[in-house]
Amino acid sequence: MSSYYRASANKTPEFPSLMGDVVADICIVGAGYTGLSSALHLAEKGYKVAVLEAETVGFGASGRNGGHVGIGQRQDQQYLEEAFGNEVATLLWHMSLEAIDTVKELIKKHRIKCDLKHGNVHFAHRSKYTRDLEEEVDFLQDRYDFDQIDYLPKSRLSEVIDSDAYYGAVVDRASKHLHPLNFLLGLAAAAVKAGVVIYENSRVTSYEGAPAVVKTTGGRITADEMILACNGYIERLEPKINGYIMPINNFVLATEPLTDELVTQIAPLDTSMSDSRFVINYWKLSGDNRLIFGGGENYRRGYPSDIKAFVRKYMLQVYPQLTNTNIDYGWGGTVAITMNRLPHFGRVQDNIWYMQGYSGHGVPTATFAGKLIAEAISGKLERFDLMASLPTTKFPGGTLLRWPGMVAGMLYYALRDRF
């Protein structure tokens, strides 16, 4: 399974496996955005940090996703106000904007080469959804004084796309998009420079205690604090939190580099794009003008036998002009969703922390989680505790029986996408 991101990745050193006993202030399990952002922010505060990765840096969703860096939480602001009141919703809104700024600042500070670009367009795939988009824009402009967003009716969609697939759109100038793996590799390099030690191919087999003793087949790390940053790859490591997330597989393709004419048709503003389907389509142009298009998902461990063909049919529904365009890469990855699509933060015990369940909003939210955990461990708990206070519900049936209900629900909403 060949990923464009892996093929175009910046060079990075290989990291050793854990061998023997190591002592650290903080042990982090998982070298994705959550783990490496946490490691970097904590190291900058003077902590001795060790990171354990079961595979290699960027192996999971952080190295395979769409690269969108979007405003807001995974739920819209109107929902957040209705659910939690204006004060909490406003705090969550400003934290979401700070999350984008955090990504930008990290890229600038550490000179990360990751094809950072600006803007997102979100489309209504049915005419009945256009009113929802208009109301969202009016709400953010009026209630939050947010002036970086506008609604485009169908008559103006040619400004942002050459396609007949949509009925209206929200143009968001605050969001960003980037090469997700190169951003992560930049975080890894910055973390190492700050003193973090990373161990690859070091799957955690068990942990216990305070201080935490974290064991792999090759050794163990003893640390005052431990962070579980596994997200959709947590599996059986911690049953107390596993049932709050559902790992699902999402799929992406990358075309050959497009001509200037096609680039103008596909994304004249060079923004990232997405649509209103429950099983969302999302896409953008790469730094070398390939279309990176994500579409379709499944709810089992296996991937489709031909990922390129699986995603291509969704791409052609949006861009039939790409019928004769070669597909150079196709790959998949695991996304962890929660029941209400809000992230799941908290502690298993006083010295064992976790952040997970980003529900497709992981680039900004997981990166920002690293900033929040560094604040919390250093004594400023308010913002981490706010995120941890958001209500979460286990999937019905627990970790063993959640799949049948989830599949039925997803198939129902996928069917609704067609009407």
Q: In the prediction, which pLDDT does 404 show?
A: 56
Strand partners, 152: 169
At 339 the pLDDT is: 82
**In this structure, what token pair is assigned to residue 283?**
């896409």
Asked if 38 and 220 touch (Cβ cutoff 8 Å), the reply is: no
The mean pLDDT of the chain is 92
| DSSP one-letter string for 37-102 | HHHHHHHHTT--EEEE-SS-TT-SGGGTS--EE-SS-SS-HHHHHHHH-HHHHHHHHHHHHHHHHH
Q: What is the pLDDT of residue 72?
A: 87
| CA–CA dist 227, 207 (Å, integer) | 11
Residue 419's pLDDT is: 52
Q: Which residues contact 330 (CB under 8 A, 6 or more apart)?
A: 1, 2, 251, 252, 253, 254, 306, 307, 308, 310, 311
According to the model, what pLDDT value does residue 414 have? 56
pLDDT of residue 412: 47
- Predicted pLDDT of residue 361: 85
Please give the pLDDT value at position 401: 47
Q: Which residue ranges in the chain fall short of pLDDT 70?
A: 1, 299-301, 397-419
CATH T-level assignment (fold) for domain 4-64+181-244+339-397:
FAD/NAD(P)-binding domain (3.50.50)
Six-digit token string for 226: 């431990």
Cα 47 to Cα 154: distance, rounded to the nearest angstrom? 53
Helix, strand or coil for residue 175? strand
pLDDT of residue 125: 94
This prediction has a pTM of 0.93
